[in-house]
Amino acid sequence: MLSWRLSAAPLALISAFFACPASAQVFEVVHPEVEKGAFELEALNGVVLSDRETGEERSAHEFALGYAPTSFWMPKLALELANPEGEDVVVEAFEFENIFLLFQGGGDGHDHAHGHDHADGAGRYALGFYGKLEVPNEGGIDDGAVVFGPLGEVSLGPVGLIGNFFVEVPFAEDSDPGLAYALQASTPVADSLELGFEAHGSVEQAFGDAPDLSEQEHVVGPAVYSAVDLGDGRLLEPRAALLFGVTEAAPDVTLSLNLELKF
């Protein structure tokens, strides 16, 4: 493992994200953003760059389609895939996601990576709510879970901050709810290009028999965000992050690559 692992004291101040297995996973910071009549296609990918044993997940993938019938609600349908080392790709879960935009204000320019105008100092802010039903391919609804929690975004001059804080309630008996977080800070460095960092983590069964810090998964690392105008109202938003594990249970290094097409 990496020699700069965080000790329990400082990391405990930020522990709180969504229940993540000790395997490959996708990482996403969900934006509190809804545009009436808009479609979204997402491809989320996480590839573990450190050593994997046969049968352990080398990569995870999620493909989602969303449509906003109103100016405050976007539902999405998603399919999760897992790619175990030395084995075939398997369907892991089906998801029904919902993003609710509660309110927003300040600047709402659309001239760079995420469609938000950090650079003009307008101070954009938004608050949303996220809800998801996850049904595993094996086990079905009885082994599924509901995930819900707030989405927040604020622009402070040239810096944009986004935070997600989720509670996961599993349906399985003798399983306590877990907590999850996703954090992002970014700033424009060129037209349609932003640099920043992300932090993701989880505490399984946080309201019951929570694991020790070393058994939780927390990752942090740099990220780059962009946007490509394809014309005819289509916008492609690629994002890449290199996430380093800061606890023993987390993979040493994960490459996270996401693509989002809005139209």
* Domains, the chain, with CATH or none: 8-262 (2.40.160.40)
Provide, rounded to the nearest whole percent, the portion of the chain with pLDDT above 70: 86
Q: For the chain, where are the E strands, in sequence order?
A: 39-48, 57-67, 73-84, 90-105, 125-136, 145-156, 159-170, 178-190, 193-203, 218-226, 228-231, 234-245, 253-262
What does DSSP assign to residue 29?
Answer: -
- Segment 5-22 shows an average pLDDT of 36
In terms of DSSP H, where are the helices of the chain? 8-12
User: Mapping DSSP to helix (H, G, I), strand (E, B) and coil, where does residue 213 land?
Assistant: helix
Provide, rounded to the nearest whole percent, the portion of the chain with pLDDT above 90: 72
More confident residue, 113 or 199: 199
Contact between 142 and 163 (Cβ < 8 Å): no
Q: For 192-233, where are the E strands, in sequence order?
A: 193-203, 218-226, 228-231
Candidates 17, 27, 95, 96; CA nearest to 59 is 27
Pairing of strands 39-48, 218-226: unpaired
Angle at 92 between CA 91 and CA 93, to 5 degrees: 105
pLDDT band at residue 57 using 50, 70 and 90 as cut-offs: confident
Query: What phi and psi, each to the nearest 5 degrees, are found at residue 169?
Result: -110, 105
Give the lowest-confidence range in 190-194, 196-200, 203-207, 227-231: 203-207
